[in-house]
Amino acid sequence: MNAIECRDVAVFYGRRAALWGVTCQVPLGCLAAVVGPNGAGKSTFLRAVAGLLPVQRGEIRLFARPIAEVRSRISYMPQRESVDWDFPLTVLDVVLMGRYGRLKLFQRPGRLDYERAWEALRHVGMEQHAHRQLGELSGGQQQRVFLARALAYDADLYLMDEPFAGIDAATEQVLLEVVHELRDAGKTVVVVHHDLQVVASVFEWVMLLNLHMIAAGPVGEVLTAQHLHEAYGGRSALLSEVVQRVALHREVMRRKGA
């Protein structure tokens, strides 16, 4: 069984296509990276998999089920820059949010939830900062808080958007350790990454994206000179033009995809 299976997925923002014809799989229990140039649709892909964006065409299945049925098994970690870190909350408050998915609406976190939150904080080496305000954290510490929150949820599939961007060496070490531990525990981890060197040495599975999925599979097969040229040598003008035209016929497109 695959953790992620995408078949011919297209996502549009208004008339602008962000993803087109994306087909790929991620096997269960592997460490996968999503790479591609800026604006290639990496974050869009991750958000679509997390069920945060409507997919206009094609289908995404997680653990061989529709996303809505397996939300309790996926943990999404947004980009660090996507939130206001000058928010009046403490580190522990944010990590506890990782437990909200295990609670009912309006239910208060109980002792187990606090235990899990503290465990996650210790895991990323942030327990001494638990009661600090978010505004006092460095970039690396912010990333660790997000990581702890994802860990506190205790999911089977972790989707991490650019966790390695702008962090210190110590945090990078923690992140690498944690993703390896998760993989060893049988979890699937998908990380949006921008450093091809790290991807080649750390990850087992790579998805090379630029509007469409150029290649997805084991690192050795995907990161070839040919594929990289296709991904980074500029987006295919022909494909872009065709997709822009397709956007005008969305009704037709939808019927086909259904």
Partner 1 sequence: MEWGSLFHPVVMGVLVGNALIAVGGALVGTFAVLRREALFGDVLAHAVLPGVGLAYVLSHRKDLPVLVVGALVVALIAAAAVDLLRREPRLREDARLGIVLSVSFGLGIVLLTALQRQYEPQQMGLWRFLFGQAAVVTWADVLLIAAIVALIIGFVALAFKELVALSFDAQFLRALPLPLRWVEMGYRGVLVCAILVGVQSVGALLMVAFLVLPPMAARPWVRHVKSMVIGAVLVSLAAVLMGVWVSLALPRVATGPVIVTAAAVVVVLSHLFAPRRGGLAQLWGRAARALQRWDEHVHKALYRIAEKEHSEPWNRRRLAEYRQQGVSKGTVVMLLWLWLTGSIRWHPGFRWSITEHGLKKAVQVVRRHRLWELYLERFLRVPPERVHTEAELIEHVLSPELEEQLEQMLQYPQHDPHGRPIPPQWGK
Residue 16 identity = R
- Confirm or reject binding of residue 101 to partner 1 (CB under 8 A): yes
State the residue for tokens 């699937």: 188
CB 77 to partner 1: min, Å: 8
Residue among 8, 93, 119, 154 that touches partner 1 (CB under 8 A): 93
CB 153 to partner 1: min, Å: 8
Q: Which is nearer to partner 1, 153 or 217 (CB)?
A: 153
CB 69 to partner 1: min, Å: 9
Q: Which is nearer to partner 1, 49 or 223 (CB)?
A: 49
Q: How far apart are alpha carbons 202 and 204 in whole angstroms? A: 7
Residue among 77, 126, 151, 223 that touches partner 1 (CB under 8 A): 77
Task: Return the number of other C-beta atoms located less than 10 Å from residue 236's C-beta.
Answer: 15
CB 223 to partner 1: min, Å: 29
- Cβ-Cβ contacts under 8 Å for 77 (sequence gap 6 or more): 146, 147, 149, 150, 158, 159, 160, 161, 163
Footprint of partner 1 on 193-232 (CB under 8 A): none
Q: How far apart are alpha carbons 217 and 221 in whole angstroms? A: 7
CB 60 to partner 1: min, Å: 13
- Confirm or reject binding of residue 149 to partner 1 (CB under 8 A): yes
- Confirm or reject binding of residue 251 to partner 1 (CB under 8 A): no
- Among the listed residues 54, 58, 12, the one whose alpha carbon sits nearest the alpha carbon of residue 255: 58
Q: How far apart are alpha carbons 249 and 143 in whole angstroms? A: 41
CB 244 to partner 1: min, Å: 14
Is the separation of the CB atoms in 123 and 185 below 8 Å?
no
Torsion angle of alpha carbons 152, 153, 155, 161, nearest 10°? -90
Task: Return the number of other C-beta atoms located less than 10 Å from residue 93's C-beta.
Answer: 17
Would strands 205-210 and 31-35 be described as parallel, antiparallel, or unpaired?
Answer: parallel
Residue 199 tokens, joined: 């991807």
- Confirm or reject binding of residue 83 to partner 1 (CB under 8 A): yes
Footprint of partner 1 on 107-126 (CB under 8 A): 108-109
- Confirm or reject binding of residue 247 to partner 1 (CB under 8 A): no
Residues in contact with partner 1 by the rule CB under 8 A:
13-14, 16, 47, 50-52, 71-72, 74-78, 82-84, 87-90, 93-94, 97, 100-101, 105-106, 108-109, 133, 149, 153
